[in-house]
Amino acid sequence: MSGRFGPFARRAAGFVAVVAVLALAVSACGSAMPTSAPLFTSVPIGPTPWPNGTTGQYGLRIDPSLLRRLPIAVGGVALTEDAGTETVVLDDPDIAKTVQSFAAAMAGDILSTDFVGVEILQFKPEDQTPDAYASWIDSFAFQACSQSDGVGDSSTETIGSWTVDVSACNGGVNVYSLSLGNGQYLSAFGNGPKDLGRLLIANLH
């Protein structure tokens, strides 16, 4: 990791609150055993509150079509659009400086044994640079681990056909970021024995 946090360092308080509850869930459910469930179901991603997208006051657009790269379910848990995260990011002036569109989804909930939250963003053409990508990766891992005892080990791994930046929070949360190409990035964080974040990446379209 580069150590740069840039304009993404002040991510929404709602993100930190979610991770705080997730950290508690990790400690409470860390010993749970995985269940035998199919990797996929026929449940589609839930209806968006903005079927045609919406644009915030700083120009950032919520674009549900970004979620088309995701499987409809992972680890037997359906993915649904995360309108709560989208609503917070919609009017974040810092993210809007370099990001033109954004969408979020989740599988499970933060008190489930297995949970993953996913964010996909499209950088502005002029900000499709290594520095902007590194800033996003570092900031996402920092925020995801801020209520899970901080960032522990970080590495680069191959998952399926994807090159992925992976961070393991000291409190048990796993964090993933990868380039989808053409200025799009996907980041995910979650917990549980099924490691839904890793499964999701392995099954991206």
Please write the tens of the pLDDT for every residue from 24-36: 333 333 333 333 3
* Rounded mean pLDDT, 98-102: 97
| Structure-token pair, residue 42 | 């026929």
Q: Does 114 reside within a domain?
A: yes
pLDDT at position 3 over 80: no
Q: Does 178 reside within a domain?
A: yes
Q: Does 33 reside within a domain?
A: no
Q: What is the phi/psi pair of residue 176, to 5°?
A: -135, 140
The angle at the Cα of 53, spanning 49 to 58, to the nearest 5 degrees, equals 110
User: Which pLDDT score, from 0 to 100, does residue 126 have?
Assistant: 97
Q: Which residues pair with 156 in a beta bridge?
A: 165
Q: Does 38 reside within a domain?
A: no
Q: Does 127 reside within a domain?
A: yes
Q: Does 153 reside within a domain?
A: yes
* Residues making up the chain, counted from first to last: 205
User: Which pLDDT score, from 0 to 100, does residue 174 have?
Assistant: 94
User: Which pLDDT score, from 0 to 100, does residue 161 have?
Assistant: 94
Q: Which residues contact 89 (CB under 8 A, 6 or more apart)?
A: 12, 60, 62, 95, 102, 104, 119
Q: Which residues pair with 106 in a beta bridge?
A: 80, 117
| Structure-token pair, residue 28 | 């409470």
Q: Does 47 reside within a domain?
A: no
Mean pLDDT rounded to a whole number for the chain:
80
Percent of the chain with pLDDT over 70: 76
Q: How far is 83 from 26, CA to CA, in rounded Å?
A: 23
User: Which pLDDT score, from 0 to 100, does residue 17 have?
Assistant: 36
pLDDT in tens, 26-69: 333 333 333 333 333 333 455 567 777 899 999 999 999 999 99
Q: Does 48 reside within a domain?
A: no
- When divided into structural domains, the chain yields a total of 1
CB 183 within 8 A of CB 174: no
pLDDT in tens, 147-194: 778 898 899 999 999 999 999 999 889 999 999 999 999 999 999 999
In the block, tokens 């079927």 appear at: 51
Identify the domain containing residue 106 by its residue range. Answer: 6-28+54-202
